[in-house]
Chain A
């Protein structure tokens, strides 16, 4: 199954995506197009905690509403996050 098909079938599910250059993203699949998957990254505090000022959530300037876009071609692995992690 291609990453595109996988993402289309699992919109709304929490996943962990590792890209070919080693970046790790955890979030909920929001939408998919033929070149990118957009995820809403899981809360800032799930990983390394701390209390922030000016937290904007996403990298590389992606606006809040769109989520973080990851090129499908850059995905090395994609896997579901276990429910206990999510909730």
Chain B
């Protein structure tokens, strides 16, 4: 089974939350760990403590342990799984993609950052697993955008396998750029990360030279990696995503290729084809 059963865990959590009306925050966190995070622990996050799994998923947009059971009950009324199964089979065949393990869960709709910029949908992908955190009211196109983004990561990570700690800033910029480009190509400009947009050549070149070029080989564990990707210390939010999208946009404007070929294309070939880099150097 590729889409894993998260519904039974959610139903048990709702039942527990409804049984006692006055649970402490601590009790709610423990219930959330037991019914949502524990099923993931042994096969999917080996040798990791439950609070660490919970922290990690919460930071990436999983619903809060303090979410009302009524909201979770409403969320369960959506039939997201069958839509995702269809999308998965279609993308897997079109992109020659790998089999993966998919987990669909509610997102945290209380976070202003997620609401304003991502329509309260979030995700997280690995070579062997993929998490989709969807809002109660995610439209079909929003769901599709999130799935395309995350599964494109799984495909590219599968095409260029290496130790996770070996992935560099350049890998991340291109990975996110491809994902954002595919979403816009297939669904239109209004989908994807709202901070990501086309910028003029000079702006793109300035950002590239300032933030990515001197740091392109830094590993993902380096602090600067996340500063460039997510923003901070004078770097605009999601800068790495914007730079990646602009890079891929320029590559694809020149090279008429499909998504499948793009997902298999090496970083070097993409960079070699960007006129802007050779002209101005």
Contacts and interface: CB of A to CB of B under 8 A. Distances in A.
Interface of A: 21-25, 41-61, 64, 87
B2 to A, nearest CB: 18
Nearest to A85: B221
Interface of B: 25-26, 29, 45, 48-49, 51-53, 55-56, 58-61, 64, 107, 110-114, 117-118, 121-126, 131, 133, 146, 149-150, 153, 157, 164, 172, 175-176, 179, 193, 220-223, 225-226, 230-232
B111 A61 contact: yes
B55 A53 contact: no
B59 A41 contact: yes
Contacts of A46: 221
Contacts, number: 107
B59 A58 contact: yes
A53 B148 CA distance: 11
B52 to A, nearest CB: 6
Given A23-B55, A57-B59, A51 B118 contact: no
Contacts of B51: 22-24
A47 B50 CA distance: 12
A39 to B, nearest CB: 13
Contacts of B29: 21, 23
B232 A64 contact: yes
Contacts of B49: 24
B55 A24 contact: yes
B118 A53 contact: yes
A49 B126 contact: yes
Contacts of B225: 43, 45
A45 B218 CA distance: 13
A54 B232 CA distance: 15
B148 to A, nearest CB: 10
